[in-house]
A and B are shown apart, each in its own frame.
Chain A
Amino acid sequence: MAVISRGFHGRARDKGHELPPGQYETTGFPVLSAGPTPVVSLDDWEFTVRTETGVRYSWNWQELMALPSETPTVDIHCVTKWSKFGTRWQGVSLDVLLADVESGAEYALVRSYGDYTTNLPLEDLLDGKAWVAYRFDDEELPAEHGGPARLLVPHLYFWKSAKWVSGIQLLDEEEQGFWETVGYHNYGDPWREQRYQGD
């Protein structure tokens, strides 16, 4: 039973747009990251998929740009409590990148420039649920928001949408990423409020 906070009324609620539990709406775009923003040159940029058997697939920036892109408009939910509705992106669907990858893996460990990692089930990257995004709001994705390219997995808390993405390791067994090893949830569904391990 929740404790009622005497004299707390909260902001006027927007009944038209539903927030996941514990979230509030922001119109800004806050930044969350664990360390300095890495500088990644497009000449050196590479996106690599490694399978559970060690087979490697990779794309440089020109190859990524040559792939068909999509322009999803999605709501995003950060574990630090803010949600932002109707964000507009451009990127390549993981369905395109993984289409010819031979794998029976169940899990993915996503890697970033700057050594960040995050884990999620592979199926959450498929079926139109995830992109490697390189434009936001009709502009190049700024470095502090993960540019040149970041993962976009909007149905999970936003730390799963790894900034400065460099690749994906496919795994038979789940392996925890950066925030997950320090107490954040392995899956991170905002609608079930899976913020921390044990939620």
Chain B
Amino acid sequence: MARAAVPGRLGARLRWLEARLTGRHDESDTARTLVFDVPGWPGHLPGQHVDVRLTAEDGYSTQRSYSIANASDGERVELTVERIDDGEVSPYLVDVLEVGDVIELRGPVGGWFVWRPDEQKEPVLLVAGGSGLVPLMAMIRTRRALGNRVPFRLVYSLRAPRSQLFVPDLRTADPGLDRTFLYSRSAPERWPRPPGRITANDLSAGGWPPDFEPACYVCGSTGFVETAAGLLVALGHDPRRIRTERFGPGG
């Protein structure tokens, strides 16, 4: 179909940038954090993601999106990647990519699932399922880096203690950040809540009353997000204050 190309502002264009891996560390039994130096990186808002492009020697190329894990910090971009066993890209990023290697990325992408500390003064509820914690962690880290006083509550549903991401970071004292951990399969010894999926009670106890009008960010698998966002609506939260982001399989 013939259509004239719509001219865009060249300055607004997201260009592919070279990203050099400068560090990496294991984050859990299946996830690894990759630290990149990206010359020309314009900075980002917490919650935004990047597109990653890999190109094979025969010219075949594929892309995936990954949430940014760190607070904006010059030309540094950290991605926390969950290894999906039959994935095409995530096993490469987690197992093959070495310090000094260069990949391509462009971004930051996304202006909806973001926390804007300059504009948003309302309390914040973060609801994470598994690796859905990554963009929410960027919000927690941004709040901490800015010394922002907006009260945050995190409700983090994870399979088992060994699947927890960002363990040292979430152990750090962070006044005004309340943390609730929900284990879906196996909980630490003597944990008061039996293992199980997220419930209305968990969100009521670990979140904010709806009349506080919090901004709610829900991120995880499709099933988790459907459940958690539905529970928030049932508890009386305005659907317009609930932002969702889903992590599909296929990475």
Contacts and interface: CB of A to CB of B under 8 A. Distances in A.
Interface of A: 2-11, 13, 21-24, 26, 28, 30-38, 80-82, 114-115, 121, 144, 155, 178-179, 181-183, 186-187, 189, 192, 195-199
9 contacts: A2-B55, A5-B103, A23-B63, A26-B250, A35-B239, A36-B229, A80-B248, A197-B8, A198-B8
Interface in B224-244: 225-226, 229-230, 232-233, 239-240, 242-244
Contacts of A121: 3
A101 B53 CA distance: 44
Contacts of B65: 80-81
B13 A199 contact: yes
A144 B132 CA distance: 19
Contact of B104 (A2, A81, A82): A2
Contact of B64 (A81, A115, A144): A81
A182 B233 CA distance: 24
B109 interface: yes
B210 to A, nearest CB: 13
Interface in B8-37: 8-10, 12-14, 18
A3 B55 contact: yes
A42 B105 CA distance: 44
B178 interface: no
A52 B188 CA distance: 61
Nearest to B60: A10
Nearest to A129: B1
A42 B96 CA distance: 51
Given A36-B233, A36-B244, A198 B96 contact: no
A155 B1 CA distance: 10
Contacts of B109: 183, 196
B160 interface: no
B248 A30 contact: yes
B56 A10 contact: yes
A178 B243 CA distance: 13
Interface string B41-71: 0000000000101111101111111000000
